[in-house]
């Protein structure tokens, strides 16, 4: 990793020790669940990234393959064709660091070579056997997200998440990824029932004993619409409420579509909590 990228990586990771951080979502896909097709054109993607940065996000997460249920998988070549020009154009223009949302080691490697500093792996190093070694060799940071192939109604979700993280952390250690470069994500909305998603947020504090930052991605997720009436909870106000609950439980990174509103809400939350302490 080049010196400038390493500096951006370290500044972002240091921010997590000081205050809540906001990760802005940039989907350069035609089929993502919330904004698919809006930013898959090059000019639109750059404009959206500039807007996210101007609104105060701490990192921009660029994804070239939809992870919504039922999405059509894409090849590494197609994923790279979507994300590489965007990463290359933004890395020198923006002071904000870039993250790559992928589970493919080949895509991660190329994105880091282009200047990305973090790999957001929705399979937590457990799908592509080359991923952990690729991240370690590049000295990138990584988000290890909980996931599985199927949803089980009766599962104790926190026990399952803890077992998954234990396996992923052993993979990371064997590859030589420093603990200081690791963020954990309980995978809200991935292979979980609405009840399990809610429970994962409510019991987030049970995942803090590793001493690693926790990321949550509740933004516009479908489970929010099951928590009240008329589905309004799935909109911005529901996402804000869920993320503030996650912040109270120990989360320090928030992956969101609506950056400006979260920067403000989390700043107020942090200021009030700091005054109490």
* Residues acting as catalytic residues: 221, 255
Phi/psi of residue 62, each to 5°? -100, 125
| Dist CA 80 CA 44 (whole Å) | 17
| Dist CA 202 CA 79 (whole Å) | 34
The 3-state secondary structure of 79-127 reads HHHHHHHHHHHHHHHCCCCEEEECCCHHHHHHHHHHCCCEEEECCCCCC
| Element holding 53 (H helix, E strand) | helix 42-54
| Dist CA 211 CA 180 (whole Å) | 10
Strand order in the sheet with 98-101: 182-185, 141-145, 118-121, 98-101, 59-63, 21-27, 253-256, 215-216
Closest by CA position to 180, among listed 172, 189, 190: 172
């Amino acid at each position: 990793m080049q010196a400038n990228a390493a500096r951006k990586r370290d500044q972002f990771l240091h921010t997590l020790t000081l205050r809540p951080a906001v990760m802005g979502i940039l989907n350069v896909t035609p089929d993502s669940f919330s904004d698919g097709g809006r930013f898959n054109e090059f000019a639109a993607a750059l404009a959206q990234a500039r807007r996210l940065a101007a609104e105060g996000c701490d990192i921009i997460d660029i994804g070239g393959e939809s992870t919504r249920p039922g999405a059509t998988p894409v090849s590494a070549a197609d994923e790279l064709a979507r994300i590489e020009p965007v990463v290359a154009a933004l890395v020198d223009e923006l002071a904000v660091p870039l993250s790559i949302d992928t589970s493919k080691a080949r895509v991660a490697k190329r994105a880091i070579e282009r200047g990305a500093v973090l790999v957001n792996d929705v399979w937590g190093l457990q799908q592509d056997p080359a991923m952990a070694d690729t991240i370690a060799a590049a000295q990138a940071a990584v988000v290890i997200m909980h996931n599985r192939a199927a949803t089980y109604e009766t599962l104790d979700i926190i026990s399952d998440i803890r077992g998954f993280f234990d396996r992923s952390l052993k993979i990371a250690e064997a590859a030589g990824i420093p603990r200081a470069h690791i963020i954990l994500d309980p995978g809200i909305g991935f292979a979980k029932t609405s009840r399990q998603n809610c429970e994962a947020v409510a019991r987030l504090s049970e995942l803090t004993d590793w001493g690693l930052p926790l990321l949550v991605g509740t933004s516009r997720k479908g489970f929010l619409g099951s928590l009240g009436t008329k589905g309004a909870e799935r909109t911005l106000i529901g996402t804000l409420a869920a993320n503030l609950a996650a912040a109270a439980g120990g989360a320090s990174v928030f992956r969101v579509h609506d950056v400006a509103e979260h920067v403000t809400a989390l700043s107020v939350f942090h200021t009030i909590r700091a005054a109490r302490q």
